Amino acid sequence: MITIYHNPRCRKSREGLSVLEDSGKEFAIVKYLEEGLTKDTLEQILEKLAISPLDLVRKNEAIWKEKYKGRPLSESAIIEAMVRHPKLMERPVVVHNEKAVIGRPSSEIHSIL
């Protein structure tokens, strides 16, 4: 099953959703800002993306700059920050089986369909 971690207010996320709709494949939408993220979910996403937690953080978000930027943080602390503040996660993230991509640009999504 394909899953998109989606923020409807984000243009890039809407573009990613459009790619999935145009693919004709079945997919699930997780509105992670409403539903939240668990530590386990984030760890699974990171493993499938094969990136560090810091690489999944939106570093221009005000909350990152105010609370976390420039501080020595463990990977676990960065994951916990994204659990507390899901807005910090890059979007959209599309997961398909054991692979995942950050859909920026949205054409990246084609690589796992």
The 10s digit of each residue's pLDDT in 54-79 is: 999 999 999 999 999 999 999 999 99
Task: Identify which of 16, 78, 67, 70 has the alpha carbon closest to the alpha carbon of residue 43.
Answer: 78
Question: For position 3, what pLDDT does the model report?
Answer: 98
pLDDT digits (tens, 9 = 90+) for 82-108: 999 999 999 999 999 999 999 999 999
Find the domain containing 36 and state its range.
Answer: 2-112
95 is catalytic: no
pLDDT digits (tens, 9 = 90+) for 24-54: 999 999 999 999 999 999 999 999 999 999 9
Give dist(CA 88, CA 45) in Å, integer.
14
Q: What CATH number should be reported for the domain holding residue 56? A: 3.40.30.10
Q: How many domains does the chain have?
A: 1
Q: Which of 10, 51, 63, 112 is catalytic?
A: 10
